[in-house]
Amino acid sequence: MKHAFLFPGQGSQTVGMGREIADAYKVARATFDEASDALGYAMDRLCFDDPDDQLGNTEFTQPALLTVSVAIMRALAEEGVKPDAVAGHSLGEFTALVAAGSLDFADAVRLVRSRGQYMQQAVPEGVGRMAAVLGLDRDVLGEVCEVAEQGQIVSLANLNCPRQIVISGHLEAVERAEDGARAAGASKIIPLPVSVPSHCALMEPAGEQLDADMHELELKDLEIPLVTNCDALEIGAAAEVITAARRQISGPVLWGDSMTTLADLGITRFVEVGPGRVLTGLLRRIDRKMEGVNVEDNASMAKSLERIRA
């Protein structure tokens, strides 16, 4: 049975994440120490207790989530479980690059901290908006967004699974698109509590800054396949990593298509590595035949290992 590791993105963070795994596995504890050394602040303190209420700030959220997922991945490796392929949702794609051997972990946490800063700087707070739209096909919602633009930006941002799509852009344009989606028959619209409108053209300045940073890093060819958000296609060469990362920040996340690509590569079990069960839940909506497990704490580790080893 071939396994793909899936890494969650922003929104999955929660205070206390990673604590149990760090207490149970020395390699996981060392991962938090490595992140602390790279960033100059106590990563374990941020993730376990968040005493300064920073975990919701994107420049702290991004390295924190990456650290927790890498810590759990290293614990899984000690248990003899390694991926045959990887993918990550938005931010999680950088964790996937670490898992695939292309990006050094210390470089990765510094890179995603900067990524969060660039995203925040690209659009002042209150200018952008994101909303999840349920019940419409991508073609219909795409047409709704085109009508709603009116000189501003609003577009499909996260195509998570059939009829569950996130839109992103200027506040007013997204609100117009929400009205249009209701008129087109959307079953539910959920405004997202985010500070930046990710995965739309407003993020292009952040992509340019990220591109410059990545050209300074020593990236390696991937050791295992990674399926990208931007194209839902497999990549393997270091040269493809920078292009994909730049396009991803301002383009839509093709998550449903990415899972289908992994299945076409022969993946038969998907392991969500990191806090929450968002990606595991999406699997069932993409294809009910896809088997998913998640690992976020000691209980889920034990349960998933039992299924994997059966």
- Answer yes or no: are the C-beta atoms of 119 and 91 closer than 8 Å: no
H/E run at residue 46: helix 43-48
Single-letter amino acid, residue 47: C
Residue 189 confidence (pLDDT)? 98
Among residues 151, 240, 164, the alpha carbon closest in space to that of 201 is found at: 151
Domain 3-122+202-309 is in which class?
alpha beta
Tokens of 227: 């399926």
Residue 144 confidence (pLDDT)? 98
Residue 195 confidence (pLDDT)? 79
Query: Could you say which of 3, 155, 199, 258 is catalytic?
Result: 199
List, in sequence order, the alpha helices (H) in 192-297: 204-215, 238-250, 255-264, 278-286
pLDDT digits (tens, 9 = 90+) for 67-80: 999 999 999 999 99
**Under 8 Å CB-to-CB from 101, ≥6 apart: which residues?**
220, 222, 223, 224
Residue 182 confidence (pLDDT)? 98
Assigned CATH for 128-194: 3.30.70.250
Query: Angle at the Cα of 97 (from 251 to 63), degrees rounded to 5?
Result: 80
Residue 205 confidence (pLDDT)? 97
90 is catalytic: yes
304 is catalytic: no
What pTM does this model have? Answer: 0.96
Phi, psi of 16 (to 5 degrees): 100, -5
Among residues 182, 158, 183, 185, the alpha carbon closest in space to that of 169 is found at: 158
pLDDT digits (tens, 9 = 90+) for 27-39: 999 999 999 999 9
Residue 288 confidence (pLDDT)? 87
Indicate the domain borders of the chain. 3-122+202-309, 128-194
Query: Could you say which of 3, 69, 89, 90 is catalytic?
Result: 90
Low-confidence ranges of the chain (pLDDT < 70): none
